[in-house]
Structure 1
Amino acid sequence: MTKVHRSLLLLCALGLSSVQAQQERTQITLDSVAHEAQALIEQPPRQPEALAENLQSLSYDQYRDIRFRPSEALWWNADSKFRVEFFHPGHLFQDQVEIFEASDTHVQEIPFLKNAFDYGNSGYDPGFFKKPKAYSGIRVKYPVNNQDVYDELIVFLGGSYFRAIGAGHNFGLSLRGLAMNTIGEQEDFPRFTKLWLKKPEANSNQLTLFALLEGEKVTGAYRFDVRSQGVTQIDVHTRLFFRAGGAAEVGIAPLTSMFVHGENSNNPNLTDWRPEVHDSDGMLVHANNEWHWFPLENLPGRTIQRLPTAKLRGFGLLQRDRDFKNYKDLEANYQRRPSAWIEPIGKWSTGEIVLYTFGTDTEATDNVTAFWKPDIDANTQDRTEFSYRITLQTKDPAHELAKVLETRVGQRTLDSNASTVIIEFSRPESIGLDEIDRLSVGFEYGGAQAIEAPIIQYNEPEDRIRVFANFKTPQEHPQESPYRMSAQLLREGHQVSERWNYIWKH
């Protein structure tokens, strides 16, 4: 602990700061944070305090040159498997977040300390009057892969964004506390303005933290229980309070990812040397007693897909393709990006899963968002509660159906006026080789014209079941799109595969 830390703690212990002294005697719970969120909803939205200009204007490289000193980490010398490091405000990360350490009986604010950073060649001079009032986020370290190495387990930085990994992962897709008006004209990005870190017990593999969320039309209280045991699980409990019209814009458990191109991309202008570039390659949904797979695609403009859910069991953005040869990128290692699976805790109402994508030509842009939109009164201002579990893992959620492994679309062989789609399903043990000829496929072309009935083939080299379909764009409306297609393998009329859902544009 630095001399500055010790001095601040001593001041609080002597009662020289009545606010901090009161905080020390406070127990932080979801109820106490919700009480603060409810009080804020009665007031106009608070705007973040602007940073000094020399912090706002930092370039990416300059910002990277401001490095946190590991010896200043919270719990660095404590009997805990967790360590917490802090991010300096600046560049794109201009929101300042009040951060506290909490026990079962006490709370202590963690002040901003410029001595916790090495400013290197950043060009930023942390003068007394120019320094920020708070950090911009946190990085939690934990021995995820090796007991002797502290990996970045979970990071909270920017708005309500956070990212996490499990064993063997590189950071990939992002998680968010809340989505607001994502598919509207102007998206709102609520932000976490306070974080409370509860000190874990010795040798515990769980970290609990609380967060206060503030936005233009919403405030909220969050509790996160983070556990790392090979896979990483995060239990989220939230209470939300809306201003007028806010409930109409809300998206619960949002996931944000990137997809530039994959095996299904049909872009003649593609010049990337890598076969595929994406953090996730599809969205999986378990709802209404079915499993649905939505392959991702990088289509021009905005594309919105909706799946009404009477009984949602789970949804997530997955990286199913784990084969390095399909990426060839030794730095990005896209095959190691985590899949994120959301499972409701308790009973959720009816609603719909929304998958929103927009076109991009760079992997630096997250162009995929998935969330659950509940059926609630658009003008409700009552407290609304949700609980769910996020699992970061490599394997898919378990089920016994045939899975969609690949989607390929292109021009039909020797026919420039038609297109071909190939869907590769896994062959589960429940489908014997002698049964493949007896399978049928329910195929919907979404307005496109089928040339003939789709064909089912056994892909012996890869032990897969292939569906092969040819179609044409209606000549009277050649540019009418998108075409919303779906397909599912059937055995005697019963579903034996995930339902494939695809958007195709001419």
Structure 2
Amino acid sequence: MSISRRQFLSWVSLFATTTGIGFTNSTLAGFATNQTGDAFDFSFEELIKQAKQLAHNTYQAPPKPDAHVLDEIDWENHGKIQFDTDHALFANGPGQFPISFFHQGRFFRVPVRMFVLDSNESTTQAKEILYNSHLFTMPENSPARRLTSPAAFAGFRIQESRLNNTAQLNWRTNDWAAFLGASYFRAIGDEYQYGLSARGVAVNVVVEGVQEEFPDFTHFYFVPPEDNSDSMIIYALLDGPSITGAYRFKITRRHEVIMEIENHLFLRKDIHRLGLAPMTSMYWFSEKDKKTAEDWRPAVHDSDGLMLWTGQDEHVWRPLNNPSGIQISSFVDNHPKGYGLMQRERRFSEYQDAVHYEKRPSLWLEPLGDWGEGAVQLVELHTSEELYDNMVTMWVPKEKARAGQSFHLNYRLYWQADYPFPLPLAEVCRTSIGRGGEPGVSRPPEAHKFMVEFHGDIFSTLPPNTDPFADLWTSRGRFDLIYVERVPDGKPNQWRIIFDLILPKQDKGDPVELRLTLKSQGKVISETWVYQYLLS
């Protein structure tokens, strides 16, 4: 779980250039015949069968090239290796999005095999794109030149359109989706920024006495797209000690990025915590808990909250925490309608950072079909800096994950700034915590003050001279000094709730669970604010 954000997620922007490959004469432009393998029949159904068969066999890790040479390809040397843009897959078409490849190195050791597909009326065939160091530009003394078989690619990324090429979005220097390392992948949002990541699967995240596994995407198959299409279709094979899988990705580039994913997973071994459709992000601190961070910036995070749309049609907002250790929250559900790690703070002034956290995409997941019973689990790990992704959220089925079982999921991922659907309720836009106080009002020393701010057009439908009702709940302690008021900034449709949580002074036990919903005339008019208050 200690995945370095700068070292594992920001690599995409380290490589300024990209990649001519394919299958027919046009799509294989730039490749000699000895740089592609022999053709063989391919179908998604056969890939699923291959994954299922693998699960019946003992796991064998992919062979890797010389470990000592890989170790020499550190961050500095890896950053000097760039794919030659003249050799990009689909650089001359078909389609508008060329594909470039990443080189192996110290931090990307697993070889990943790449294939391009070609279809006619009766069959689809695959041909492997063979690794060759000449496809990359690198210094003469680069240790990568000493790599021998089975050297391969480490991952790939999808470049911006070659048909709509501009100085601002030059396809050779700008990409919009990337797959690199284990089963991690990510995309930019409508603000043209990378941020959090998704994963193909999560295996045994934070299970006491059990080491987490990171299965790998070992094979990718690229479908040549239509020239006027804004989508790419990519197939992938996943393999790991406890699980195998076959994936189909339909990845669409509009102003935002949308991914439709189908997977078929097969278990080799029992898995204590099987995380399906996981996503991972970084949360260090925000305004509500800046006391935990020694930093000059007001906030540092790629996501600031977990959003849920439950099978019971409840909308939930859970602000993220940076705990002193490990916290796991489980939101039991049946037929969930969606969940995501969201970035709601969207002003530069909230971060004051040139890396522009305010432009990081939110990631919303929409289940396609019935996911049954289970729980959205949120794992929060401590971090003392912004270098690590310390947040994980995933769907954990109620059914035990036993060897021999299989799972099949369909879902859609939205990489964009905001929630992708109209929200008919007021949404939480700010959570603040502190001591506070009012002149002349006596407050006990064990009081903890909260302020939760809501925005929404639904407030304009309130009856005249009527305030929303704050429905509050706590797992322990009691509430005092509850105020419901308009935000005094002169802007419409903004309300805040201020209250004290009174806890015994000696109470230093488990976190306190809090819930708040705004109602009017007995009807819910807001998201449910759910918070886990960590006592120091």
The Cα shift of 1:70 comes to 1.1
1:345 equivalent in structure 2 = 368
1:121-158 CA distances to partner (integer Å, 9 max, x unpaired)? 8742513x636521010011123996433231210000
1:86-105 paired onto structure 2 within 5 Å: 86-104=101-119, 105=124
Q: Distance in 1 between matches of 2:236 and 2:64?
A: 21
Q: Distance in 1 between matches of 2:326 and 2:372?
A: 28
Q: 1:469 to 1:33 in 2, by over 3 A?
A: same
1:32 equivalent in structure 2 = 46
2:127 equivalent in structure 1 = 108
2:59 equivalent in structure 1 = 45
Q: 1:266 to 1:435 in 2, by over 3 A?
A: farther
2:251 pairs with one of 212, 222, 226: 226
2:485 equivalent in structure 1 = 457
The Cα shift of 1:294 comes to 0.6
CA contact (8 A) 1:161 1:175 kept: yes
CA contact (8 A) 1:101 1:199 kept: yes
Q: 1:435 to 1:120 in 2, by over 3 A?
A: farther
1:69-95 CA distances to partner (integer Å, 9 max, x unpaired)? 111211112242111111110021111
For the aligned residues, what is the CA RMSD? 2.2
CA contact (8 A) 2:315 2:528 kept: yes
The Cα shift of 1:474 comes to 1.8
The Cα shift of 1:290 comes to 0.3
2:457 matches 1:428: yes
1:155 pairs with one of 178, 182, 187: 178
Q: Distance in 2 between matches of 1:3 and 1:371?
A: 41
Of stretches 494-503 and 135-144 in structure 1, the one that deviates more from structure 2 is 135-144
2:23 equivalent in structure 1 = none
1:272 equivalent in structure 2 = 295
2:510 matches 1:492: no
2:83 pairs with one of 51, 64, 68: 68
The Cα shift of 1:350 comes to 1.2
Partner-residue secondary structure (3-state), 2:153? coil
1:469 pairs with one of 486, 494, 499: 499
Q: Distance in 1 between matches of 2:221 and 2:160?
A: 18
Q: Distance in 2 between matches of 1:121 and 1:280?
A: 41
For this pair of structures, how many residues does the alignment match?
Answer: 488
CA contact (8 A) 2:290 2:298 kept: no
1:241-297 CA distances to partner (integer Å, 9 max, x unpaired)? 112313x42111101000111121142x53312111110111110002100001112
Q: Which amino acid in the other structure matches residue 139 of structure 1?
A: R
CA contact (8 A) 1:163 1:174 kept: yes
The Cα shift of 1:204 comes to 1.5
Q: Distance in 1 between matches of 2:201 and 2:163?
A: 29
Partner-residue secondary structure (3-state), 1:412? coil
Q: Distance in 1 between matches of 2:163 and 2:461?
A: 38
1:95-174 paired onto structure 2 within 5 Å: 95-104=110-119, 105-120=124-139, 123-127=142-146, 130=148, 132-143=150-161, 147-148=165-166, 149-150=170-171, 151-174=174-197
Q: Distance in 1 between matches of 2:387 and 2:267?
A: 32
1:216 pairs with one of 234, 241, 245: 241
CA contact (8 A) 1:41 1:219 kept: yes
Q: Which amino acid in the other structure matches residue 214 of structure 2?
A: F
1:366-385 paired onto structure 2 within 5 Å: 366-379=389-402, 381-385=404-408
The Cα shift of 1:426 comes to 0.5
The Cα shift of 1:498 comes to 0.4
Partner-residue secondary structure (3-state), 2:228? coil
Q: 1:161 to 1:145 in 2, by over 3 A?
A: farther
The Cα shift of 1:4 comes to 8.7
2:416 equivalent in structure 1 = 393
Q: Distance in 2 between matches of 1:121 and 1:419?
A: 62
CA contact (8 A) 1:62 1:122 kept: no
Q: Distance in 2 between matches of 1:27 and 1:386?
A: 22
Of stretches 131-140 and 436-445 in structure 1, the one that deviates more from structure 2 is 436-445
Q: Which amino acid in the other structure matches residue 6 of structure 1?
A: A
Of stretches 152-161 and 391-400 in structure 1, the one that deviates more from structure 2 is 391-400
Q: 1:379 to 1:25 in 2, by over 3 A?
A: closer
1:9-34 CA distances to partner (integer Å, 9 max, x unpaired)? 6xx7xxxxxxx43xx241332x1111
2:284 matches 1:255: no
Partner-residue secondary structure (3-state), 1:444? strand
Partner-residue secondary structure (3-state), 1:85? strand
Q: Distance in 1 between matches of 2:507 and 2:358?
A: 37
Q: Distance in 2 between matches of 1:424 and 1:122?
A: 58
When normalised by structure 1's length, the TM-score is: 0.91
- Return 5+ residue gaps in structure 2 as ranges: 1-19, 21-27
1:392-420 CA distances to partner (integer Å, 9 max, x unpaired)? 11122321101000000111327553211
1:327-338 paired onto structure 2 within 5 Å: 327-330=351-354, 332-338=355-361
Q: Distance in 1 between matches of 2:268 and 2:525?
A: 45
CA contact (8 A) 2:308 2:315 kept: yes
Partner-residue secondary structure (3-state), 1:264? helix
CA contact (8 A) 2:73 2:144 kept: no
2:95 equivalent in structure 1 = 80
CA contact (8 A) 1:285 1:314 kept: yes
CA contact (8 A) 1:144 1:230 kept: no
1:442 equivalent in structure 2 = 471
Q: Distance in 2 between matches of 1:286 and 1:497?
A: 13
Partner-residue secondary structure (3-state), 1:408? strand
Q: Distance in 2 between matches of 1:348 and 1:289?
A: 15
1:17 equivalent in structure 2 = none
The Cα shift of 1:371 comes to 0.7
- Return 5+ residue gaps in structure 1 as ranges: 13-19
1:476-503 CA distances to partner (integer Å, 9 max, x unpaired)? x421121111111011222110001111
2:31 equivalent in structure 1 = 5
Q: 1:383 to 1:478 in 2, by over 3 A?
A: closer
Q: Distance in 1 between matches of 2:367 and 2:270?
A: 25
Partner-residue secondary structure (3-state), 2:330? strand
Q: 1:436 to 1:108 in 2, by over 3 A?
A: farther
When normalised by structure 2's length, the TM-score is: 0.86
2:217 pairs with one of 167, 192, 197: 192
